[in-house]
């Protein structure tokens, strides 16, 4: 799964995601511990690419209770087009979730140890996501998103049995396109990112708290620091 991620720098964000409104980049600040139920920027398509801020935790438009979002922070790629919660969004509400890295926890005899996974070139990347709009009984609205996960690559597999779908840059506009995608297209897009283009290392257990959002969270730790964190 993907339960936390980072967007550790935002310089060049508008150019990277071909935003029509380049000024949108000024609204962003670096984030080092984005957690479920928090608001975060995503990229959607319209007359051009647009950045919007939504809540992490997918609430289908037909849901009776917004609390379902706490269980839908991730969506499994396998069979996603047939799942009731997601099939409408797979057709016409696909998005990109910008990130510079994500966290996974390795289960050990000493408890779960957090790891930070990112691209070796340390560039911003786009995770495949879906979004929806939910209207509450009092007529207020919540716009929310989920991150699609797939089988882990060889780098992530020793740490966790799932990883987010990282889109190849040349596939991002195809993912954002307004028309529905065929099953074969979904299978080709929603697959593990090449392990040899990524790296992973242990980080501080401080990331366990969603209240902590500091640059030090994405720094590698030694055995000595890990014991004390």
Residues designated as active site: 2, 104
Report in angstroms the alpha-carbon separations of 162 from 49, 126, 156, 215. Answer: 28, 17, 8, 25
Q: How far apart are CA 119 and CA 122, in angstroms?
A: 5
Residue with tokens 């307004």: 178
- CA dist., res. 65 & res. 57, Å (int): 12
């Amino acid at each position: 799964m993907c339960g936390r991620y980072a967007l550790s720098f935002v310089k060049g964000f508008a150019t990277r995601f071909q935003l029509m409104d380049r000024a949108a980049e000024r609204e962003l600040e670096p984030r080092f511990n984005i957690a479920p139920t928090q608001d975060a920027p995503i990229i959607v398509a319209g007359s051009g690419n647009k950045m919007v801020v939504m809540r992490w935790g997918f609430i289908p438009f037909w849901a009776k209770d917004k609390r379902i979002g706490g269980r839908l922070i991730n969506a499994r790629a396998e069979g996603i087009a047939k799942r009731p919660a997601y099939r409408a969004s797979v057709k016409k509400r696909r998005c990109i979730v910008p990130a510079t890295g994500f966290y996974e926890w390795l289960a050990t005899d000493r408890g779960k140890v957090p790891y930070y996974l990112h691209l070796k070139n340390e560039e911003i990347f786009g995770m495949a996501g879906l979004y929806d709009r939910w209207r509450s009984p009092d007529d207020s609205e919540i716009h929310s998103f989920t991150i699609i996960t797939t089988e882990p690559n060889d780098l992530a597999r020793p740490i966790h049995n799932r990883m987010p779908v990282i889109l190849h840059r040349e596939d991002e506009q195809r993912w954002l396109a307004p028309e529905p995608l065929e099953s074969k297209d979904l299978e080709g897009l929603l697959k593990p990112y090449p392990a040899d283009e990524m790296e992973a290392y242990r980080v501080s257990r401080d990331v366990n708290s969603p209240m902590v959002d500091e640059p030090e969270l994405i720094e590698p730790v030694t055995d000595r620091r890990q014991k004390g964190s």
